[in-house]
Every structure is written in structure tokens, then in C-alpha cells.
Chains A and B, each alone.
Chain A
Amino acid sequence: MATTISKPATLVGKGIRRQEDPRLITGTAVYVDDIKMPGMHHAAIVRSPHAAARIAGINTEAALAHPGVVAVFTGADVKNLGAVPCASSLPGLRVPHHHLLAQDRVYYTGHPVAVVVATDRYVAADAASLVEVQYDPQPAVADPEKALAAGAPAVHPQWPDNTSFTFHQEGGDTGQAFRDAEIVVKQRITSQRLIPTSIETRGVVAEWRPGEKSLTMFTSTQIPHLVRTLVAGILGMPENHLRVITPEVGGGFGSKLNVYAEEALMCYIAKEIGKPVKWVESRRENFQATIHGRGHVDYYELAAKRDGTMLGLKLKLIQDLGAYHQLLTPAIPTLSVLMMPGLYKFKSISADIIGVFTNCVPTDAYRGAGRPEATHGIERMVDILAAELHMDPAEIRFKNFVGKDEFPYATTTGLFYDSGNYALPLQNAMAQVDYAGLRQEQATARAAGKLMGIGLSTYGEICAIGPSAAMPAGGWESATVKIEPSGKVTVMTGASPHGQGEETTFAQIVADELGVDIDDVMVVHGDTAVVQYGIGTFGSRGTAVGGAALFYALQELKAKIKKFGAMLLGSDNVSLVGGSCVDDATGKSVSFAEMAVAAYHAKTLPPNTQPGLVATYFWEPPNFTFPFGAHIVVTDVDRETGRISIRRYVAVDDCGKIINPLLVAGQVHGGVAQGLGQALWEEAVYDEQGQLITGELTDYALPKASFMPLIESSHTETPSPVNPLGVKGVGEAGTIGCSPAVVNSVVDALSPLGVRHIDMPLTPQKIWKLIVQSGGLS
């Protein structure tokens, strides 16, 4: 019982290995597809091969006659159930009714049309091909700018302009800024559609228990509680009769920050057939029917003085929404507008978003969710301005940064940047690469006809999402801490970590606060029947909001155990030291386990104190947090082939206080990998007919480990005043900082050829064509 006392060393700040890893590495973790139940059936989904078509008829006879098939469901069966929800609200937003299965039309390739349920997964797949759907193909449009053109096919016939919404935001006087400008630079900049591609695809197992009138759903999600509330709403059942369990999640990156038709469908089917049912998405389905990210066409105008002082920024943002609104689809570009000033002191901004329907799968949150697009835009524009003014891109940034003494800083987009020292990461990164020396080397290389580029980006992001006022359904997070009678500690977090490592970081926080051994701490999450209501993990909020809730719950619990310590010691003047309670006068102490036993045995109780040691805290953050950093990328471009080699990748990130540097490094590395994916390789391409031609991993170029450069990662630590841990969040930083640094570097390499902008991905073919067009091959 005395094993948990005296742990003087602090764990916060130490790079201890992840508690989660042994089960992941040894293959003993349990994912949705590992779940098997007696009598479990399997579902296969019939999906539209057309991007736009009327459904003239569906014949399910052959499928139903196939041995082992127990049911086939079509749109008619689910017509009266609720719609797939969109939680975003914008003035005048057009929201198409998103049925669980297509009704009389399909709107994108992969649109679910029918579900075949069979005793076996293979039988279900065979029978799915026996469902005869008569399609009457209609013209489709897959490109958002073409969708806006006169005469374009209407994605939803009731809205022939294909416009779901327009949204205007203005801060300061852009008219004045552009009148005062001595130079204005303009550029069209795209952030292409990306496929989030978690290694574990989506999957659902649903079980109906008729006696209890209750449903249990296992689903691979980032937001189990929100899924419970919203799926119960779709089905018209009481949410406390629906239990959502999220086992191990093999990646989400925002694509599982959603409520999908398949989740409600499997619950409905389990109840209809009276048997458990499983559906696991194939990779092709994952590409066709799980949300995509990005999908921007941005038109920027930047007004400045000739000395490089930036005055105003205008943006026309065309957002490719796809055919429907998923949970946050229309909200994502509004995040881009919030972050469009970057780290700079703009006096004015003006933005117009046009949300455009296309015959494609919906876009929604993907790692960074609106901020990578914004950062890419502003960081490209700053470089374009610097080039026009013949200024060094570092110098123009230093000139325009919000100063370190100006926090909290009110932006023209209505945010309050919490804390920062924006120049420091850039100074550190420049020192690390010997920036001046690199520029000299570049001059020599250029003289020899070589294409060498130095690119930098200084990014800011908006994390710890977020205050409830800014969110559709609450932006707080919850934590319960229980000290068990044996002195072991159980944490139940409403955040639903799925790879970020909070089982480790939260245990570090608990170990330090309570003075217990980290191995005595168990962090539980992802089961709505066990964990109090929570919001989930996304927007770099797990630790910055969920960790803060945990911290406050721990303070309540500490106050309570101290009462038991005082009682046991018979003294009013006691302190918690390590895991013990010490009498300040006598130095006598009682152990953590002794206090736990006293609280549960309850032979005597301190005045006005309940037995037990449990505290729950729902923490509402007063603000977002604003991490920042600087990335420098050095590239060499092969003049003959257009191939890009990354010579150096230096990332200096400031995510506030660091709880575990090992996990932070992992987040930076993963983020940079996905940023490089966007910059260099990845692009979801639909053809004119709305067919996804990058529909498999043989076509869609996800970065491989062998493609990665050495990432030289370091940090500055500016604590956030927003939460007691001083943390800011780091899940998305790498992705946000990366792509503009890479593109700036390659544009810099090609600038002697007159190139001033290149849209992503920077494929060798694209670079080669630019070199050829400039006559640079000769």
C-alpha cells in the first residue's frame, strides 16, 4: 500500500516514452475491426459510380436471393430518419437535406445508395454487386470555379448558381489601406483537395439489445459523445440509450471529427435485423466517401508601403464544399479568414468567402482545417511582396511582426493573440542554417547555373479550440479524476485522444500534481457509458483544453485529500509533499494510500466532507491559444527533370510549455510529413465527369518514410496565459508551417527564371514545364 508515495522528480517536461506504444507496437491494441460478436452480420455498401445521376429504379431481388443475405436497405427505408447533421450555421446557409442513403438522385461518386447485410463479409461484398441500380446520368461539375460559371450543371437542381453561402468579414478600413498603398501585389493561390488517409479506415459495429432497448455502437471517431448525441437524434432515440465506444483509433486527422451516414445506418440496421452488424470501410470507399480536406481557390491582394510595411489584405476565397455539408464543412473556410493576417500587424483586412457545391465528396476538417490554407496564402503573399520590393523575405517579416510587448494583441479579424515572441523562432532558425552564409552559397550556385532555393515561413495558428462562444456545440472539455481505495488513480477525459498520446501526458500531469507513480495512473477515454460528456480531440485542443480540465479537477481533489490528511494527522497546518501529507509543525506524515483508505472506509470524516475521492471539472477556456514558429527549407531543383530535393528542413516551433518533448517531436514530424505531402505529392483529382482518378493508394501519392528529409526540430517556449499548464497545442503546427516554406523555397530556386508563384503539389512535371517555358533548359 505504500508503493505510491514520495515521487519527488517531476515528469512534466520529460520525454518519457508513450504508455500507449507497447500495445500498438505488439499488435495487441483493439480496433473496430477486431471486435467480434456472437451472431454478428456484415454490411457492404452499394455506392454510386456516377457523380450525378437520377435513380430510375433499384432492383434488390437478385441480392436478396443470394445465399447468406438477410436484408437489403435502400433510400426508401431510411427516408423518414433524420439527416446527416451539419453543425455549422452561417447567415443564409443553404443546407441540402443529407439523407442516410440516396433518394432519387446521387450527387457524388461514392454516394451510398443501398446496404446489403449478410452473414459473412465476403457474401455481403458479392451480393452488393447484385443490386441493380438504374442510373440516368446527369452532367456533373467537379471544379469549384467551373461550378460558379454561367451555365454550369447544377449540383442541387434547386440552387442553379451552386452557391451554398457567401460570407463577408472586414476589419479596419481596407479602402483606405489600398489608397495609402505604394505597392499592391495580387496572386491567385490554390490549396488543393487532399485525402486525409488515416491508416485505419472508418468502421462501425452496432449491437441492439432489445431487453434494454439500448444500442451499443463501436465507431472509429474523434468525438464519441457528439456522435452519440447526433446519431441518437438521427434515429429519434433517447441518447442515454445509445452507448458509443471508441476503441483504438488508427488516425483521424480531422476526417473522424464527423458524424457519418454509415454510423447511423449501422445502428438502424442492427435494430432492424436484431443482430449485431459490422461495416469496415475499404480504402477505395475511404477515398470516395470520407471527407476530403482543403479545396481552396484564393485570390489575394496585399497593400504595402515601399519600405515593406504591410497595410491591408484582401481575399476572395472560393471553397470547394463538395455535394453536401458534413459536420463542419462550411465553417472551415471561416477559420482561414480568422487567421489570414498571420503574425503581422495588418491595419485592415477584407475577406469574401464563396462556398461552392461540386459533385464531389464533401470537404471538412483535415489537419490544420483552414489554417494551413490561410498560412499558405499570407506566407506566399509576403514572399511575393518581398520579391517585388527586392527585400529579403526574413527582413520583411521582422518588419511586420506583432512585437513581443504587444500581447494580448487584437487582430483586425477579431482575435486576441495570447502571447508570443514571433521574431525569436525565425532568428533561431536563421542562426541554425547560417542564413547569410546560405544566401552567399546560393549566389555562387546561381552563378554556376544551379537552382537552389531558400524558403521560410513564419506561421501562427489558432489552437485549443475553443471557447464555447466560437463553437457550434461547446468548446470546453471535461475531466474526472478518481483516487481509488487502493490509491491508484483513474482519469476519465472527455477529450478522445486517438494517437496524440494523452494517456501519457495526462498521466505525467497527474503524477506530478498528486505525487504518485506514473504507472499507478490509468487514463480512460472513448466510452460514453464510462466517461462524463466531453467534446473530443481536434484543433490541437486535447491537452490545451482537456489537460487544463484535468489540472483543475486535480486541484479539487488535492484540496479534498488534504482534508483527510489533516484529519489523520490531527493538525490544521498540513502540506501535500510528493504523495504524502505532512504536518508542518511536527514533520509527521501520512501516505497517499492511507488517505485514500480513510476516504473510502469513512470511519470518520473531516467536517462537511463526503466519503470518496472523485472530482469532475468541466473547463471553459477564456480564449484560443496561438502557437507560432518558423520553418526554413533549403531545396535543390534538378534543372533537367524538375525533381526537388530537400537539403535541409529546420523547424523552430513554439507550442507554449512542453509537457513531453518526445511526443511534441512526434507531432512535429507527422505534421511536417503531411505538410510535405501537400506541398510536393498529394492531390485528389476529379475528372470532368466527377470521377476520382486518384482513387487508390497506387495513384494518390501519400508521402512514404523514405521520402522524408531529416527534420531538424527545436523549440522556443512562450507560455500561454490562457490555461494553467501554459500549453498551446502542437498537433497541427508542422502541417501549417510546412507547405509555404517548401513552396517559397522552390519559387526562390526558380526565381532567376522569372517564376513568382507555383501551385501545389510541386510535381516534377510542373516544375519542368516552368523551366522549359522560361527557356531555362538551354
Chain B
Amino acid sequence: MIPQTFEYTAPQTLEEALGLIAGGDRKILAGGMSLIPLMKLRLATPGEVVDLGRVSGLNGISENGGVVSIGAMTTHHAIETSRVTRAHCPLLAETAGHIGDVQVRNVGTLGGAVAHADPAADYPAALLALEAQIKLISAQATRSVAASDFFLDAFTTALEPGEIVLEVEVPAEDQSEGYSYEKVPHPASGFAVVGIAARIKKDGNRIAMARIGVTGMGAHAFRALAAEKVLENGGSVADAAATVGDGETPNSDLYASADYRLHLARVHAARALATAISRAS
């Protein structure tokens, strides 16, 4: 549990940080709840670590014109408890409350989690269901990538060398929407064996919109598009849930084999949808 020797830099400004990140064998420390354990186990052995913890302007939550902007260095705890997220994207606040434990939530950040892209991380399910945009910045440019184009593979994202996550933009949820994040936490790691983020908009008794993000099931989180369609076409929750994971190759490990994981995803999709429907007005 002793990391290899590394250089540590803590830039104060974004410009300084982007300059440092532009070259070399550098890892970005954005909370460190994943990176530090990996380094202590020597599974990650970066030569240099750039700590974004002291960079000003990367932290904060605000709502403007129906879009909630969350700075990359905003902690899970802040997202879980902020009045802005609770009012305008309660699905994300609820999801943040399922991450790790209190200590982890007080230190870990949204940008760090998103950039790390653990296949069992909680946020990606919610960000997909919320159709969030991930804003990226490098020394040269900024760009915005839809969550559905951002998570590419296990621990692999659309981030290019020299880029960092600047902020995440979430379209505010409609007040009438229902939402739910249903998670089966691994009893040891607390990571999602499966996690289902659901949003529902009703039009009378009809489901006008369904968004379902699924994490823990495969190499990266995905939208359960077929299930969304079933609901939007008037199908039942059970029929919708039964399509979750179709065409995917579920992860398999000691705790949950592929078939059990697929089953859990479907059971918890049905539960998440039922809760979201009951919360929608």
C-alpha cells in the first residue's frame, strides 16, 4: 500500500493546470478516491500527478436558463445536498447519495468520477438518463460532448490527451417528472453491481417520456433505448424492464454472474420505473 515515487504539482489556475497537463506522463488528481488506491496498489504508477484541488473556478453548482452547470471539482456530497440539484436535477442528487460512503462523498468529485469512467460507477447511468453534456477543456479549445458519446469503454472516455472535464451541464428536469436511482451495491466495494437511473414524464396516464440509464452491466453505462420505447409506446413496466440489457454482454464476477446480473438489472429497472412513475405527476 505504498505508491511508487511521483512528482506532485498543485496548480492554482486553470491555465497553469492545462499547461501542465498538455505534456508528459501526468495523471490528474480530482479528489483521488479511485486514483490514490490504484497508486497505493501500484496498479497506477504515474510519474507526475497534477492535483486540481486548488484550481479556482472548477467547483460549484448553478442553474441558468433551464441548465444546471456543475463544476468538475464539485464533490458528490455537494451534488447530493445542494438545493439547486435537488430542485432541478433530483435524479443526479439521489444518485450522488449512493456513491461510496460519507468520507468518499466528501472528497470525490463529479469530474473525477466521470473522467475515470469506472464501469460500475453510479453517475454515468444518471447522466445518460438526464441527457447531460460533458464540457471539456484543453489549453487550445473547449468542446461539449453528449454523455451518450462520452463513455466509450471501461475506463475509456472521449477525453483527448491534454483535455480535462471542465463541467457537466444537465438540462433541468421538469417539475412534473418522476425519477429514481435503484442500485445494488457490491457488499465489499460499494460499487454498483447494477444501477438503474430512470426518468418518467407523464401525459395523463400515458408515459410521454422515459429515459433509462444502466450502469454496472457492461464495459460502460448505456441507455436502455428499447425499454424507453416500450413505455413511450404504451407498453407495461414489466415488458419494458424485460428488454433491459438485450444485446449487451453483461459483466460477470464472483458476486454476480452474467445471468444473475442481467436478471438484477431487469428487476431493478422495473423497481426504478415504478418509483419514477409514482413520483411523476
Q: Using a CB–CB distance below 8 Å, which chain A residues touch chain B?
A: 44, 121-122, 125-126, 129, 282-284, 640-641, 681, 685, 693-694, 696-702, 704, 707, 763, 765, 768-769
Residue pair B1, A122 in contact (C-beta under 8 Å): no
Min distance, Cβ B223 to any Cβ of chain A, angstroms: 23
Chain A residues with CB under 8 A of B264: 641
A685 with B254: CB separation less than 8 A? yes
Binary contact readout B261-273 vs A (1 if CB under 8 angstroms, 0 otherwise): 0011001000000
Q: 8 Å CB contacts to A: which residues of B47-68?
A: none
Interface of A is mostly: loop
Q: Which of A122, A697, A704 contacts B2 (CB 8 A)?
A: A122
New contact pairs (4) apart from A697-B188, A698-B191, CB-CB < 8 Å: A694-B188, A700-B188, A701-B186, A701-B188
Q: Is B257's beta carbon under 8 Å from chain A?
A: yes
- Contact assessment for B255 and A283 in the assembled complex, using a CB-CB cutoff below 8 Å: no
Per the bound structure, the CA–CA distance linking A698 and B255 in Å amounts to: 12
Cα distance, A122 to B5, chains bound together (Å):
8
B41 to chain A, nearest CB (A): 7
For B, the interface residue count at a CB cutoff of 8 angstroms equals 21
Residues of A within 8 A of B263 (CB): 641, 768
Q: Are B187 and A707 in contact (CB under 8 A)?
A: yes
Residues on the B chain within 8 Å of A122, using CB: 2, 5
Contact A763–B255 (Cβ < 8 Å): yes
Residue B230 at the A interface, CB < 8 A?
no
Partner of B267, one of A640, A700, A701: A640
Q: Which of B4, B186, B254 has the most CB of A within 10 A?
A: B254
Q: Give Cα A95–Cα B267 distance, bound, in whole angstroms.
A: 52
How many angstroms from the CA of A696 to the CA of B2 in the assembled complex?
15
Interface hub of B41, B187, B260 (most chain A Cβ within 10 A): B187
Q: Mark B153-165, 1 if CB is under 8 A from A, else 0.
A: 0000000000000
Say yes or no: is B189 at the interface (Cβ < 8 Å to chain A).
yes
Task: List chain B positions with a Cβ less than 8 A from chain A.
Answer: 1-2, 4-5, 37, 41-42, 184, 186-189, 191, 254-257, 260, 263-264, 267
Known: A681-B187, A698-B189. A765 touches B257 (CB 8 A): yes
Please give me the 5 A-B residue pairs with the lowest Cβ-Cβ distance, nearest first. Answer: A701-B187, A125-B2, A701-B188, A698-B189, A282-B1
Alpha-carbon gap, A701 to B4, bound state (A): 28
Structural contact, B5 and A765, CB atoms closer than 8 A: no
Complex CA–CA separation, A549 to B37 (angstroms): 47
The distance in angstroms between the C-alpha atoms of A640 and B191, with both chains bound, is: 21
Q: Looking at the assembled complex, report how far the CB atom of A644 sits from the nearest CB atom of chain B, in whole angstroms.
A: 12
B3 CB to nearest A CB, Å: 8
A696-B186 Cα distance, complex, nearest whole Å: 13
CB nearest neighbor in B for A123:
B5
Q: Which of B1, B42, B191, B256 contacts A765 (CB 8 A)?
A: B256
CB nearest to B268 among chain A residues: A641
Report the separation of the CA atoms of residues A283 and B255 in the bound assembly, to the nearest whole angstrom.
21
Chain B residue at minimum C-beta to C-beta distance from A641: B267
CA distance A125 to B41 in the complex (A): 11
Whether B260 and A699, one on each chain, are in contact in the complex, defined by CB atoms closer than 8 angstroms, is no
Which residues of the partner chain A approach B255 to less than 8 Å between Cβ atoms? Answer: 701, 763, 765
Shortest A682–chain B CB gap in Å is 9
| Complex-state Cα separation, A125 to B189, whole angstroms | 26
Docked complex Cα distance between A659 and B46 (Å): 55
Is there an interface contact between B188 and A699, defined as CB atoms closer than 8 Å?
yes
Is the CB–CB distance between A702 and B267 below 8 Å?
A: no
Cross-chain contact A699 with B254 (CB below 8 angstroms): yes
In the bound complex, how far is the Cα of B1 from the Cα of A122, in angstroms? 10
Given A125-B2, A126-B5, A284-B41; A698-B267 close (CB under 8 Å): no
- A694-B254, A699-B254 known; A284 vs B5 contact (CB < 8 Å): no
Q: Which of chain A's residues have a CB closer than 8 A to the CB of B256?
A: 765
In the bound complex, how far is the Cα of B267 from the Cα of A765, in angstroms?
A: 13
Q: From known contacts A765-B256, A765-B257, infer whether A702 and B1 are also in contact, taking CB-CB under 8 Å.
A: no
Closest to A772 in B: B263
Question: With a CB–CB cut-off of 8 A, which chain B residues contact A129?
Answer: 42
